[in-house]
Amino acid sequence: MENPATALKQKYKYAADYGFILAGYIAVFFILEYLFPQNGFISVLNYVGFLCTPIVGYILAKRYRDKGCGGFVRYGQVWSFGMLLFVFASLIMSVLYYVRFQFLQPDFIAESFSQTIQLLEQMKYPQESIDAMINFGAPSAFQITLTYLWLYLMGGAFIFLIISPFIARKKPEDTPPSNDDTSYEPYQDNSNSKE
């Protein structure tokens, strides 16, 4: 039987490795949107990339099931792996958001805040609410970064609530417990040497 501490370390390792892949996937669209902010094709590409994020999560979770768990994993394990996956990806992406809003586009938040106030005034939003927003002021780069971090975590939790049933695979009852302590090798020969 596998040691629970070893299984937890393995889950963290896979989540960190695959979280880096997920962050790279998201970062491509983030960088494209930064470099080409008003490009219609990039906007459509970002939208398609956003819609394909659950597919990427599914592929990464399936790889974790097959490589890290020997092909069998419970729903809760998949969901917690997905949460860890998005934790690591969101930490990497939060650095990019902070650098963008603090150093590369320091006026972006203030301009967006002003545009929001103008839009609310045009929509005849109650003046008391608009005044309260103005008194509160525009959020800082750090506050925006924390907001994105929170959105990634909540989005990952929701995505993996849906994905996890498709990944979970119960171990058959008649399967004897494995005493094999060898780790997974990607090109391991599974043939029996006695044949």
In the chain, the percentage of residues whose pLDDT exceeds 90 is 70
* Dist CA 77 CA 167 (whole Å): 10
| pLDDT in the model for residue 183 | 55
DSSP string across 108-124: HHHHHHHHHHHHHHHTT
Above 80 in pLDDT, residue 139? yes
User: What's the confidence (pLDDT) of residue 3?
Assistant: 77
Q: How does the average pLDDT of the chain come out, rounded? A: 88
SS3 73: strand
pTM to 2 decimals?
0.82
Residue 142 has pLDDT above 80, yes or no: yes
pLDDT in tens, 64-80: 999 999 899 999 999 99
Tally of CA atoms within 13 A in the half-sphere of 163 that contains its CB:
25
Helix axes of 40-63 and 141-167: crossing angle, nearest 10 degrees: 50
Residue 150's pLDDT is 96
In Å, the largest CA–CA distance within the chain is 82
